[in-house]
């Protein structure tokens, strides 16, 4: 058995000064039981906990470490910039360079506004859509998580579901009434809602690949149908690509599926692991933001030079040919191998992947929405999680989260992961 004594001691200490002992709820391991690991360092495809245990990591800091942890070029860029200053509160060249890369890669984006988190990006995108349309209503999909802004904490997925929480207290009813929910992958439900709420809806916001209920891909031309419905009803379409941006393809999910939104939100990868977010759109839409237009948005740390430097060092290698083919092939190889080993011992299991995002669900059919995901065998996932951890594989501590492949994961890591899965399932079967 791997020892976790130091992690346990740190967690006990943390609970005296941090809410729940953590700074983000999913980290508390409530979704799998037991106490969280405290990570001391990370390198390439691995993380190392306070007790010195090494794990193959498929959380990858929830997505940003697409090159692997502590990539030498990213570290060097951060160190060099830190020597020049960590924050200016003024324009810098790095902002322009990173914005140029984003607009070069993403089909729908001509101009960008950097912020400091994915939550700030989606919150600002909603304000922009409401300001442009003059309407208040927003539509989101059940189980899709777009950050913890008040308007978006209605039937959210991910951490809210992991903890079994209802819609969050603290969200005013007068504000929540402007948020409408439809099932993911259900274009008919969206069509009916837009018809019934004609003239009230400013925007539809969705994850083009749901990543906060596991990795749930769009089906049956769903994204194209959503685009057509938004156009027909004069409603703005926001793609929350905080997770999928530069993860599923160079140009994000919109490039992968060939569907352009009106506004796109970014985070994770574009900061190389540092706190960052962004939203972008056509020059005409973005001109409505201050200082060009009347819609106000601001932030002292927006365009922070450390985050910009890390983002540039992370994005540039992603323009190389073959990068996304490698990531996609490895993600598919991994989940298929895990599913085969589960089925070999008689467990229902299915898998999904888009680009470098992947999931394994303990279910008899691939889920298409949040209700399907909730019907999967969460208790079996908990046993699988702890078994894999014991064999040196670190997965997201929740059945409602996606896994991530990095360029640092090679055939050796995949082989070790599949060997761990085989041992874990054998132990689960005999228990």
Treating both helix axes as pointing N-terminal to C-terminal, what angle do 187-196 and 222-232 enclose, rounded to 10 degrees? Answer: 10
Active-site residue, from 240, 262, 324, 383: 240
Contact present, 337 and 349 (Cβ < 8 Å):
no
Among candidate residues 145, 180, 222, 324, the one labeled active-site is 145
- For 325, counting Cβ atoms within 10 Å of its Cβ (0-12 exposed, 13-18 middle, 19+ buried), the class is exposed
Which residues have CB under 8 Å from 227's CB, separation 6+?
A: 237, 259, 260, 261
- φ, ψ for residue 182, nearest 5 deg: -135, 160
Which one is catalytic: 268, 372, 382, 394?
268
| Exposure string over 419-430, b if 16+ CB within 10 A, otherwise e | ebbbebbeebee
Task: Verify whether residue 145 is a known catalytic residue.
Answer: yes
CA-CA distance, 309 to 139, in Å (whole number)? 35
Residue 268 annotated in active site = yes
85: left (phi over 0), alpha (psi -120 to 50) or beta: left
137: its two tokens: 């209503």
Torsion angle, CA of 65/66/72/76, rounded to 10 degrees?
A: -70
Nearest to 330 by CA among 74, 106, 66: 66
Which H or E run includes 47? Answer: strand 46-49
Distance of alpha carbon 96 from alpha carbon 4, whole angstroms: 45
What SS3 class is residue 237?
strand
Annotated catalytic residues are 145, 240, 268
């Amino acid at each position: 058995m791997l020892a976790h004594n130091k992690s346990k001691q740190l967690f006990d200490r943390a609970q005296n000064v941090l809410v729940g002992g953590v700074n983000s709820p999913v980290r508390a391991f409530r979704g799998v039981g037991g106490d969280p690991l405290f990570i001391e360092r990370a390198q390439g495809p691995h993380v190392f906990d306070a007790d010195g245990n090494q794990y193959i990591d498929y959380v990858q800091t929830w997505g940003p470490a697409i090159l692997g942890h502590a990539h030498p070029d990213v570290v060097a860029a951060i160190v060099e910039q830190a020597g020049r200053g960590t924050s200016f509160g003024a324009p810098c060249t790095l902002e322009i360079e990173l914005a140029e890369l984003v607009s070069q890669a993403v089909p729908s984006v001509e101009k960008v506004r950097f912020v400091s988190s994915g939550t700030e990006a989606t919150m600002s995108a909603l304000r922009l859509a409401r300001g442009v349309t003059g309407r208040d209503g927003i539509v989101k999909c059940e189980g899709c998580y777009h950050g913890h802004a008040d308007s978006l904490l209605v039937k959210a997925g991910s951490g809210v579901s992991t903890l079994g929480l209802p819609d969050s207290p603290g969200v005013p009813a007068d504000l929540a009434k402007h948020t409408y929910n439809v099932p993911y992958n259900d274009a008919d439900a969206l069509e009916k809602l837009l018809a019934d709420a004609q003239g009230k809806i400013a925007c539809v916001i969705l994850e083009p690949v749901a990543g906060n209920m596991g990795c749930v891909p769009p089906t049956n031309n769903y994204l194209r149908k959503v685009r057509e419905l938004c156009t027909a009803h004069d409603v703005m379409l926001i793609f929350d690509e905080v997770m999928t941006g530069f993860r599923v393809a160079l140009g994000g999910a919109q490039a992968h599926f060939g569907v352009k939104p009106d506004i796109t939100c970014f985070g994770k990868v574009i900061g190389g692991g540092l706190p960052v977010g962004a939203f972008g759109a056509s020059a005409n839409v973005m001109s409505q933001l201050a200082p060009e237009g009347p819609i106000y948005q601001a932030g002292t740390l927006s365009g922070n030079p450390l985050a910009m430097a890390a983002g540039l060092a992370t994005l540039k290698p992603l323009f190389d040919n073959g990068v996304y083919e490698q990531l996609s092939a490895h993600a598919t190889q991994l989940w298929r191998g895990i599913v085969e080993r589960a089925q070999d011992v008689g467990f229902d299991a299915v898998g999904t992947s888009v680009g470098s995002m992947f999931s394994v669900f303990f279910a008899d059919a691939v889920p298409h929405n949040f209700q399907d995901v909730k019907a999967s065998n969460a208790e079996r996932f908990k046993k699988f999680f702890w078994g894999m951890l014991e064999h040196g594989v670190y997965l997201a501590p929740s059945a409602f989260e996606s896994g991530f492949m990095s360029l640092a994961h090679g055939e050796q890591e995949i082989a070790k992961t599949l060997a761990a899965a085989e041992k874990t399932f054998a132990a689960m079967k005999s228990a």
